[in-house]
Amino acid sequence: MRILGLDPSLTSTGWGVIEVDGNKIKYVADGIVQTDAKMDLAERLVKLHEGICEIIELYKPDEAAIEEVFLNSNPHSSLKLGQARGVVFLAPAKYNIPVSEYEPNKIKKAVVGVGHAEKTQVQTMIKILLPGCKPKNADSADALAIAICHNNFRKSK
């Protein structure tokens, strides 16, 4: 089974794909879908959607998982994140891929063992849990953590 983890952002959406075989997980790929802040919002959302669709077509995941949204102190930023998140949520659904959501603290706890872990701790554990994996950046490491979290909790949903 392949799981696609997605860490939504309007600027840099992280993605990570893992392969699950019984109790074993294996790194497949990771990266980011970036948009240019100079583009119109609609153009950025289209680019984000197209990027996620390309990843789905290339890696053919069976399930997807997304980090639940958190409220930002800036309402304008929260609204933009919500719009990007909607597009990221839509892409797998368009391919009839089930999508699950996880709270940030649950993701960190699933990977590090502590719900309030630092990003560096998550990145270190990703490298331990997925030997040979060198995440492209913090966003793609977070996406891999989301995929691992989903693998840990998918049967209990």
Active site residues: 7, 67, 139
> What DSSP string runs through the chain?
-EEEEEE--SSEEEEEEEEEETTEEEEEEEEEEE--TTS-HHHHHHHHHHHHHHHHHHH--SEEEEEPP---SSHHHHHHHHHHHHHHHHHHHHTT--EEEE-HHHHHHHHHS-TT--HHHHHHHHHHHSTT---SSHHHHHHHHHHHHHHHHGGG-
Residue at 140: amino acid letter: S
CA 111 to chain centre: 14
CA distances from 6 to 40, 45, 110 (A): 23, 15, 16
